[in-house]
Structure 1
Amino acid sequence: MKKYKALFHVDEKEKIMLVLKNMANLLNDLGEDEVEVALVGNSEGIALMYQSSEYKEKVEALYKKGISFAACANTMKEKKLNKEDLLEFAYIVPSGVGEIVKKQAQGYFYIRP
């Protein structure tokens, strides 16, 4: 079992690059074997999980290091998106804020740059 748990939240497109850098820095600092990292994207932040995302390479590299990526179903419905619009490893949660509450109840530290 990993020693630490971190939950990143992004809901602004302008913060996507910062969130990606923060997650990479956390893995480098604490070590991939020591920290479990998850990301919840909603509103404009969901854009980092688009198949057509300009961040695709960075997101895929972080996924390969064990980071999970959750997309808000409410945002997807609002933006008329389907699962096929997202990177194949992104999973959909009923609501981004609900997922944040669940993860915090599981001991994740909440980080919103």
Structure 2
Amino acid sequence: MKKNPILQILMLFLSILAVSTATASAAETVSKYGTQKVVYHVNYDDAKKQSSTLRNIQNHINAVGAENLDIKVVMHGNGLSMLIKPEALKNLPKFKTANANQSMIQKIDQLKMLGVDFNVCANTVKGRQVDVARDLYDVETSHIVPSGVAELAYLQSKGYLYLRP
């Protein structure tokens, strides 16, 4: 079967147009939003609200591009419930909820793969007697900050925009 040269040229032109449009769109996004440093504040234990916050972060990345963002999530107080494993709740009488179920974990993992940092308040860990290794999902020593509130103030002083959805 013979290929039509006009059809081949048309397909090539459409392919080039599609690539250039996508490139122009990406460039427009960068020029509109630039690079951003953002800290998301989580100190509430409502699983739906926490999930919505993670969705907001994903939407933020989709709009601006992971390569143009430096995003940190700072959790303290009840916000730590986002990372508490459901089976750990029995060990933590100072928490009402443990929201690190499979759905939450998948969202967190996806955001971590895109470069989002999740930070945990040491005051909350100590004051609520949380065993980091046993009770929390995927938290290492490097993820723990001395004070959630102090970390928020510090990041804002370093140019991070504060969001609390």
Asked if TM exceeds 0.5, the reply is: yes
61-70 or 77-86, which deviates more: 77-86
- 1:67 aligns with 116
Give the number of the structure whose residues are more often helix, by fraction.
2
Which structure has the larger Rg? 2
Backbone CA RMSD of aligned residues: 1.6
SS in 2 for 1:38: strand
**How far apart are the structure 2 equivalents of 1:32 and 1:61?**
12
The total of aligned residue pairs comes to: 112
Shift of 1:44: 1.1
**How far apart are the structure 2 equivalents of 1:58 and 1:37?**
15
- 1:87 aligns with 137
Per-residue CA deviations over 1:33-85 (Å, capped at 9, x if unaligned) read 11110000011111222344111111111111100000011111122112213
- 1:40 aligns with 74
* TM-score after normalising by structure 2: 0.63
- 1:18 aligns with 52
Any conservation in 1 of the 2:132–2:139 contact (CA below 8 Å)? Answer: no
SS in 2 for 1:69: strand
Q: Which runs of 5+ in 2 are unaligned?
A: 1-33, 87-99
- Of the three residues 36, 41, 46, the one matched with 1:4 is 36
**How far apart are the structure 2 equivalents of 1:98 and 1:24?**
25
Runs of 4+ in 1 over 6 A off after TM superposition: none
SS in 2 for 1:21: helix
**How far apart are the structure 2 equivalents of 1:109 and 1:7?**
6
Task: Establish whether residue 100 from structure 1 lines up as the match of residue 152 from structure 2.
Answer: yes
